[in-house]
Amino acid sequence: MKNFWLTLEAGYYDKILINGLKKKRGLQAGWHHITFTNIKNQIKNNTKHLDYACGPGTLVGTYLNCISYGVDMSINQIEYAKKNYKKKGQFFTPDEFRFENYEKYFDYITVIGLIEFIDKEELINLIKELKKMLNEKGEIYFTTPNFTIGMKIMILVQRVFSRVSYSSVFKTEYTKSKLEDLLSKNYVKNYEITKIQNLGFLFSYFSLNLGVKISNLISKFTFNRTGFLLLLRISND
């Protein structure tokens, strides 16, 4: 898995999104835009924020106005983030970032699209380590694919039309019930799982704004019962 991320073109997904934002349309850009917008809506401005597995720094650089730090194991992605988003946050590899200096420091920690690439034991250990850096009212947000039949079809389509495929490096496939079961068995408390990212994103082909609006309508009328992604919130409250 490490080799996969280290060989990925620096800023690959960021460039797709930024190009889509400029054109105000695009399917893949719409997918990322809706995902990041969902996260943005959970985070207050001017708070202390850590983006763990931050990739090229897109969330910090384009969507948030926080005191942000980004950490990623790919030096290529970190160098891209430093070059393009140094005014919005500080970016580090795990070896550079002194985790022990940030005990009970952060208001928010985000982990976007990581836990499907690690095993269950690693996820539980990661939650424990990240919680050490949360302040008393802090929150962690994870996203991961909701591996129902709909998402599996999406992954098959993505393998055909995209230059990059994740399927060979997936380690753990969660559904809402499987994730709830894992968290409960490991005594993780104060969590909530919501389904996000529905078929409304397809309208991003015509307009990003339309994609967001249709996605929001579908979420409202289905009470978030459907979604290609799971949004896991863990709080210290």
- Read off the pLDDT of residues 174-191 as tens digits, 9 standing for 90 and up: 999 999 999 999 999 999
Q: Is 24 helix (H, G, I), strand (E, B) or coil?
A: coil
Record the tokens describing residue 30, joined without a space: 């719409």
Residue 2 has pLDDT above 60, yes or no: no
**How far apart, in whole angstroms, are the C-alpha atoms of residue 142 and residue 53?**
11
Tell the burial category of 72 from Cβ atoms under 10 Å away from its Cβ (0-12, 13-18, 19+): buried
Give the model's pLDDT for residue 65. Answer: 97
Residue 82 has pLDDT above 60, yes or no: yes
CATH of the domain at 228: 3.40.50.150
Give the model's pLDDT for residue 223. Answer: 92
Q: 169 is in which domain, residue-wise? A: 2-235
Q: How many domains does the chain have?
A: 1
| Whether the model pTM is above 0.85 | yes
Tell the burial category of 206 from Cβ atoms under 10 Å away from its Cβ (0-12, 13-18, 19+): middle
Give the model's pLDDT for residue 236. Answer: 86
**How far apart, in whole angstroms, are the C-alpha atoms of residue 111 and residue 233?**
10
